[in-house]
Chains A and B, each alone.
Chain A
């Protein structure tokens, strides 16, 4: 098997899914014109257009809530947190809305939230936190943290 970086793997997975399923779309800060702070969506805007690769205003809670609403009516959003650290601003929408919809009123909320950290960028206290621990208590959200794979 060809060896690729995490970034390439994520990019390839998103690309394949977006080609396969028109309900998949990406939203977040600088994901479109710039191709993502970590370049995970480079070239996507040209390929999929600005409604499926949506540059949002700087508003983690707002666009996470919007992803939830879109998922409730049949879309499959992928939310990009520019850096994992900023997921704290969307904490409420994730743990109180997305996570509980199905249990409370049987509405599935299939959203994927990408929260990149690490990468050896010397990010300091606001750009290098391992945030998955915040969500361990919230069993209703599935936590996935790939760290080594061959």
Chain B
């Protein structure tokens, strides 16, 4: 497989950055310093890191709330994300929204609306625009296994397939939707079977293997970019934290977690990089030090940042019409 060494190291770096930043969100949540809730992608970081790293600069992503890796890979800084979590003016939403419910079109990231699978339809619309304008760009949209039971999932998949839109749909199948296990969500074995009904090709990948997610994402983006239409990618993984940091997830069998712990995406990537002589333990350590420093700097930045002014909450309800700008 032809992935450059520097790209492999970048994938490792983003896995680590995502993990460390979210670990910090989690600690801050338990200290009562976060405004609102805190969701993490712990154990499933390879999905958002992999699919985002495979994008080209002008492509667009419509993520969901377990896609911190998408924000980071696309270039939204840990500083702005930390400030976002602390409700500061320097945060991605300037204090208007909490945690992951944001986006930034300057980085090709469509904001995540809480209502799951809505972004499948929104992402399809971006792809539709690319197709209308004859641009060689792709969109990617992501949701959880739970989100695939919603109408918007199906409406978007159908529209994209009928119109052969340049979009790749990703599903983070972490086996649970909050407390509801897969078997109470759907009567099929693989989420990917849903794609069949729309005449859409699908792939099933190890969601804990960032190289595999990246490779398959890149292949399917290439296909979409060249007029081959959409693909659905099911990434099998396991949610290792509670639904959100308030949730101890007692309903998840401990053995299942033990099992998946051995398949941790960062562990796997370390083994891959060192086992194949791509890098050394020392080089990975130096990346870890860089990540630690970035997260510390982000927190410092966020703490020193001001809160929005109370009157700011009344601003921005409407966009400024072009002729008034």
* Chain A, Cβ-Cβ closest to B165: A66
A66 x B124 contact (CB < 8 A):
yes
B318 x A102 contact (CB < 8 A):
yes
A14 at the binding interface (Cβ < 8 Å): no
- Cα distance A102–B60 in the bound complex, in angstroms: 18
B129 x A69 contact (CB < 8 A):
yes
B105 x A66 contact (CB < 8 A):
no
Q: With A62-B121, A66-B156, A97-B118 in contact, is A104–B111 under 8 Å at CB? A: yes
- Cα distance A102–B93 in the bound complex, in angstroms: 10
Min C-beta distance of B133 to chain A, whole Å:
8
B194 at the binding interface (Cβ < 8 Å): no
Q: With A57-B158, A97-B115 in contact, is A65–B317 under 8 Å at CB? A: no
A64 at the binding interface (Cβ < 8 Å): yes
Min C-beta distance of A47 to chain B, whole Å:
16
Q: With A69-B110, A102-B318, A103-B316 in contact, is A75–B129 under 8 Å at CB? A: yes
A74 x B317 contact (CB < 8 A):
no
Chain B interface residues (CB < 8 Å from chain A): 60, 62, 92-94, 96-97, 101-105, 110-111, 113-115, 118, 120-132, 139, 151-152, 154-156, 158-159, 162-163, 316-319
* Chain B, Cβ-Cβ closest to A101: B111
- Cα distance A89–B318 in the bound complex, in angstroms: 24
A11 at the binding interface (Cβ < 8 Å): no
* Chain B, Cβ-Cβ closest to A62: B155
Chain A interface residues (CB < 8 Å from chain B): 25, 51-52, 54, 56-57, 59, 61-75, 77, 92-93, 96-97, 100-110, 139-140, 142
Min C-beta distance of A135 to chain B, whole Å:
15
Min C-beta distance of A57 to chain B, whole Å:
5
- Cα distance A71–B101 in the bound complex, in angstroms: 19
A65 x B156 contact (CB < 8 A):
yes
Nearest 4 pairs of A and B residues by beta carbon = A69-B125, A65-B121, A62-B155, A108-B319
CB neighbours of B93 from chain A (8 A): 104-106
CB neighbours of A103 from chain B (8 A): 96, 316-317
- Cα distance A65–B143 in the bound complex, in angstroms: 15
- Cα distance A77–B159 in the bound complex, in angstroms: 16
* Chain B, Cβ-Cβ closest to A75: B129
Interface centre among A66, A97, A104 (most CB of B within 10 A): A66
Q: With A51-B131, A103-B317, A140-B317 in contact, is A57–B121 under 8 Å at CB? A: no
* Chain A, Cβ-Cβ closest to B319: A108
CB neighbours of A75 from chain B (8 A): 129, 132
B97 x A65 contact (CB < 8 A):
no
CB neighbours of B154 from chain A (8 A): 62
Q: With A62-B158, A102-B317, A105-B111 in contact, is A68–B125 under 8 Å at CB? A: yes
* Chain B, Cβ-Cβ closest to A65: B121
B132 x A69 contact (CB < 8 A):
no
List 14 other contacts, CB 8 Å, given A57-B162, A61-B151. A25-B132, A54-B128, A62-B124, A63-B121, A69-B126, A70-B129, A70-B132, A72-B105, A73-B130, A93-B122, A96-B115, A97-B115, A104-B96, A104-B111
